[in-house]
Structure 1
Amino acid sequence: MAPPKRIADEPAFVLHRYDWSESSLILEVMTRHHGRQALVAKGAKKPTSNFRPVLLPLQPLRLGYSLSPDAQAEIHTLKAADWVGGHIMPTGDALLSGYYLNELLMRLLARDDPHPGLFDAYAAVVRVLASEHGDALQPVLRAFELVLLRELGLLPALDQQTATLTPLSPKRLYVLVPEGGLREAQAQERGGLPGAWWLALQRALDEPAPLAATLRASADGTAELKHQLRALLHYHCGSRTLRTRQLMIDLQNL
């Protein structure tokens, strides 16, 4: 039997972790070149394990792992993990926001489906979350949601009405709805944004560095966009309320 293939020095982030035994963990990780992977970290819960202080969410890592010799197996074996460094763990609202992004990626990313550009955008957002982000938190979350939906083919074109393929009028108001895509806002309907704004957003998403461009383009419509993107994401996630979103609501109600 041929030895298992080894993946070395792979950029990654831990999205979630589960207990596997008294001493080991199953990790769900997002890697740059191989997409979402499930890895068993044997002995990671032992006090003497080198993995124990490293396998944390929202921290840039370099991983080495062996692919299972069974082609049908979904869980591979972690062999090495190193912290890349560069920033501290986010705290407070930023930490909850990071967990929210991780839940989105867990629900929407398929296994073994690499998205290097999305990985880079996520890494950039994590750096913002770990910084003195000030008022940038909500805009950067909306920008990432847009990039995520676009990367996975879940966002309709924003330069035309989805049902009719009619070009947008710069001065008319439009809304993004889960089952209908982008359409003209009805009379008295809240949340409509001008066609010129949607057109600018489409141009930003087409840029080589879409996260930064989308952040600039969406800054003036963050509040209106938040509810529309939330409905669209919940539609594709198959859940009306994400666990992290419910946790945020519960904390605000304390």
Structure 2
Amino acid sequence: MSGSVSQEPAYVLHRRPYRETSLLVDVFALSAGRMTLVARGGNSAKSPLKAQLQPFQPLLVDWLGRSDLKTLTHTEVRHGPRLVRTGALYSGLYINELLQRILPPGDPCPDLFGAYIETLRALSETDDIEPVLRRFERGLADAMGFGFQWGRATDTGLAVEPGRHYGYDPEQGIVSSVSPDIRLHNLAGEVLLGLEAGDLERLACRRLAKRVMRVLVDHLLQGRPLHSRNLFSHGRGESHES
């Protein structure tokens, strides 16, 4: 987007100091996707932007500029859910880091933006965060062109069958092949069918979904680190993220 933009719904993914008194703010915006804004004076002691430009805070923002780095000119804070539980907070930081590291800049993803809002709402309301994260990861995969069906093998086009085992490769999805270059093997057909039906309650479904989404997320990251994973392992003992 170029020129000036007003009243754009957006969320802060990350912010960092810039020059003496400013901030560089990575945001996820409805019509602009992921982008970086300069908040001039935002890091000064008297600036209200320090309190406004917080992760998970719904905003309406204005900006100016025709280069890749645009200038934030106005911020309006909106009401939204609060992530007060530790697990919800860590999960929010995880999905923010996924967006920051995986989304290409300037690529609008309105469906994913809606999924992000729904994920924040769900995280604010439940202690059972694992299904919430799996659904968001699937939405991110769809937005990036890596969506797949749990219940269909892409190499044959045939429906998954109970009693059989399948593989998973991020470039192909669920496959019936047992080739050694397939990333995951021995995925039980009956569990895949459970996931196809939306079952994220059974332990077997949760474990399989977590294995698959871990491989997919790592593929999308292309070797980039994901620091928020350390929060789960250090803060909760067991990671529920991918």
Residues paired across the two proteins, number? 228
The aligned residue for residue 164 of structure 2 is 172
Matches within 5 A, 1:30-179: 30-68=28-66, 73-131=67-125, 133-135=126-128, 137-170=129-162, 172-178=164-170
Give the match's secondary structure for 1:45. coil
The alignment partner of 1:134 has SS state of coil
1:184 is displaced (CA, Å) by: 3.8
Counterparts of 1:85 and 1:145, CA distance in 2: 25
In the other structure, the counterpart of 1:212 is none
Q: Does the Cα contact within 8 Å between 1:98 and 1:126 map onto a contact in 2?
A: yes
Which one of 200, 216, 224 corresponds to residue 232 of structure 1? Answer: 216
Aligned CA RMSD, in angstroms, stands at: 2.5
Q: Deviations over 1:25-52 (max 9, x none)?
A: 1111000111111100000111221212
Does the residue aligned with 1:118 lie in a helix, a strand or coil? helix
1:14 counterpart SS class: strand
Per the alignment, do residues 161 and 25 of structure 1 end up closer, same or farther by CA in structure 2, a change over 3 Å counting?
same
SS at match of 2:79: coil
Aligned sequence identity (%): 31
Instruction: Provide the residue aligned with 2:188 in structure 1.
Output: 192
Q: Distance in 2 between matches of 1:240 and 1:14?
A: 20
1:242 and 2:240 aligned: no
1:52 counterpart letter in structure 2: K
2:161–2:189 CA contact under 8 A, matched in 1: no
CA 168–127 in structure 1, closer or farther in 2 if over 3 Å, else same: same
Q: Structure 1 stretch 25-34 or stretch 81-90: which is displaced more? A: 81-90
What amino acid does structure 1 have at the position aligned with 2:213? Answer: L
Alpha-carbon distance between aligned partners in 2 of 1:229 and 1:89, rounded to the nearest angstrom: 23
Bigger mean CA offset, 19-28 vs 244-253: 244-253
Any idea what SS the aligned residue of 2:145 has? coil
Give distance in 2, aligned partners of 1:23 and 1:126: 30
* Mean Cα deviation higher: 170-179 or 11-20: 170-179
Given the two structures, how large is their TM-score scaled by the length of structure 1? 0.80
Q: Which runs of 5+ in 1 are unaligned?
A: 201-215
* Structure 2 spans left out of the alignment, 5+ residues: 179-184, 238-242
- Report deviation, 1:90: 3.4
The correspondence of residues 5-16 of structure 1 with structure 2, limited to 5 A, is 5-16=3-14
Match of 2:174 in 1: 182
The alpha-carbon distance between structure 1 residues 228 and 241, as it changes in their structure 2 partners (threshold 3 A), is farther
Name the CA shift for 1:198/1:252 in 2 (closer, same or farther; >3 Å). Answer: closer
Deviations 1:117-159 (A, max 9, x none): 110110111122223x122x11111111111101221123444
Query: What is the rounded CA distance, in whole Å, between the counterparts of 2:177 and 2:127 in structure 1?
Result: 32
In 2, Cα distance between equivalents of 1:28 and 1:222: 32
| 176-185 or 221-230: bigger deviation | 176-185
What one-letter code is carried by the residue in structure 2 that aligns with 1:20?
Y
Summarize deviations over 1:65-110 as a string: whole Å, max 9, x none.
1123xxxx21100011121113224341211111110111112211
Amino acid at match of 1:196: L
Which amino acid in the other structure matches residue 53 of structure 1? A
Work out the CA distance in 2 between the residues paired with 1:86 and 1:252: 26
